[in-house]
Amino acid sequence: MKRCLSILGSTGSIGTQTLDVVRGLGLKVCALAANTNIALLESQIREFKPELAAVFDLDAAKKLKTAVADTPVRVVAGMDGLCEAAAIGSADLVLNSVVGMVGLTPTLAAINAGKDVALANKETLVAGGALVMNAVKRNAVKIFPVDSEHSAVFQCLQGCPDKRMLKRIILTASGGPFFGKSRDELAHVTPQQALKHPNWNMGAKVTIDSATMMNKGLEIIEASWLFDMPASKISVVVHRESVIHSMIEYEDNSVIAQLGLPDMRIPIQYAITWPQRFPSPVGRLSLTDYGKLTFFEPDLHTFTCLSACKKAIERGGLAPAAANGANEVAVKLFLDGRISFIEIGELVRKAMENQPDVQTVSSVDDILNADKNARNYVLNAVGHL
């Protein structure tokens, strides 16, 4: 089991739940990193006593330095600070739960420093899959998935003696708050309605991605890299109860599933304790309390983000990075009331299709340029540049 953690994104939903797991397991924290939530970060510093704290926002970093001047913690700032926290020598596991493309460079910094990574930042593999997985092989480190779906697949694969026996990965999706709705019904939904997820307690951006099913599209791309599977062998099924977190199908058509309450502390803890298991703060699953579990085909016509991501991974190259970048901007525009819910998927698809075919991704700069171009495309399309 990992003994000392560096936690990037410690004030977010995954970060705070990770610290809950850390408390239960009695582990040490050597570094914490956040963006602007200085009050919570200060509280975490005083409780867990890390040697390093990184703050991405420069002004917020100055405020934190003043707030914790009476402690021995060293405060660093910006992207350089995040990378320093990711590569800190005393960590034997880096948990990356920052939101968005900002997570890519620190992930690579951790890998290149020889650190195992517990990954909750989808964008790392969506945009930089080839670079990241090549770095993992080159440095002989491991990536442990934290997303509930990818963790479920990872857990199911512990009983797979030979990858050639694996026929298909089946990712489950809750369907979000708008399951069963038509495009016409979704034309005028509000951010407040989209932020009411039926099962999970997540940050705003991830919750909107669940409502549009963009999260499931990103997960297909991520699973393709994590498990070295073509997208054609990765399926999605809508499972409203979020009890089955994902499944794998073998060549003999046997299907293995991982089940549990919809609580992120299970996949977080398994990423930290693999290959061992310990008591967790999560309650026991009672199938009789649920009574029945339901399954449906995803609606690709209504939830166009999902189909856009499928096309992106089929195109390969920088198309996934473009889809991801476009989505980040579109979600913000929707939350700000500047575009409709339906327009998110349309803008993602158009920005992805606008990305030129480039099959070889040779550097982080290639990815960041594709990301920037997709963001600018969306802003131009809605007249906000």
Query: Are residues 143 and 119 in contact, defined by beta-carbon separation less than 8 angstroms?
Result: yes
Mean pLDDT, residues 159-164:
89
Among 159, 167, 168, 169, which residue's Cα sits nearest to residue 251?
Answer: 167
pLDDT band at 138; cut points 50, 70, 90: very high
Residue 171 CA to residue 237 CA, distance in Å, equals 6
pLDDT at 126 over 70: yes
Mean pLDDT, residues 332-351:
96
pLDDT band at 384; cut points 50, 70, 90: low
pLDDT band at 199; cut points 50, 70, 90: confident
Mean pLDDT, residues 73-96:
97
Q: Is 278 left (phi over 0), alpha (psi -120 to 50) or beta?
A: beta
pLDDT at 372 over 70: yes
Residue 325 CA to residue 351 CA, distance in Å, equals 9
- In Å, what is the CA distance from 357 to each residue of 104, 193, 214, 232, 286? 22, 37, 22, 20, 49
Give the whole-number percent of the chain exceeding pLDDT 70: 98
pLDDT of residue 59: 96
pLDDT digits (tens, 9 = 90+) for 209-236: 999 999 999 999 999 999 999 999 999 9
pLDDT of residue 201: 66
pLDDT of residue 197: 76
Query: Are residues 100 and 368 in contact, defined by beta-carbon separation less than 8 angstroms?
Result: no
Give the whole-number percent of the chain exceeding pLDDT 90: 89
Query: Are residues 312 and 322 in contact, defined by beta-carbon separation less than 8 angstroms?
Result: yes
What is the pTM for the complete model shown? Answer: 0.92
pLDDT band at 385; cut points 50, 70, 90: low
Quick count: other Cβ atoms within 10 Å of Cβ 235? 16
DSSP output for 47-107: HH--SEEEESSHHHHHHHHHHTTTSS-EEEEHHHHHHHHHT-TT-SEEEE---SGGGHHHH
pLDDT at 2 over 90: no
pLDDT of residue 99: 85
Mean pLDDT, residues 232-245:
96
Burial bucket for residue 66 (CB in 10 Å: 0-12, 13-18, 19+): exposed
pLDDT of residue 196: 86
Residue 72 CA to residue 169 CA, distance in Å, equals 47
Mean pLDDT, residues 111-116:
98
Residue 373 CA to residue 379 CA, distance in Å, equals 10
* H-helix segments, the chain: 13-25, 38-48, 58-67, 78-86, 104-112, 122-139, 148-156, 183-186, 191-194, 204-212, 214-226, 265-273, 287-290, 304-315, 319-335, 341-354, 364-381
pLDDT band at 296; cut points 50, 70, 90: very high
Higher pLDDT, 361 or 239: 239
pLDDT at 300 over 70: yes
Among 140, 100, 110, which residue's Cα sits nearest to residue 30?
Answer: 110
The Cα angle at residue 330 between residues 325 and 331, in degrees rounded to 5: 100
pLDDT of residue 315: 92
pLDDT band at 206; cut points 50, 70, 90: confident
pLDDT band at 200; cut points 50, 70, 90: low
pLDDT digits (tens, 9 = 90+) for 273-294: 999 999 999 999 999 999 999 9
Average pLDDT, the chain: 94
Mean pLDDT, residues 189-207:
83
Question: 364-381 vs 319-335: helix axis angle to the nearest 10?
Answer: 40
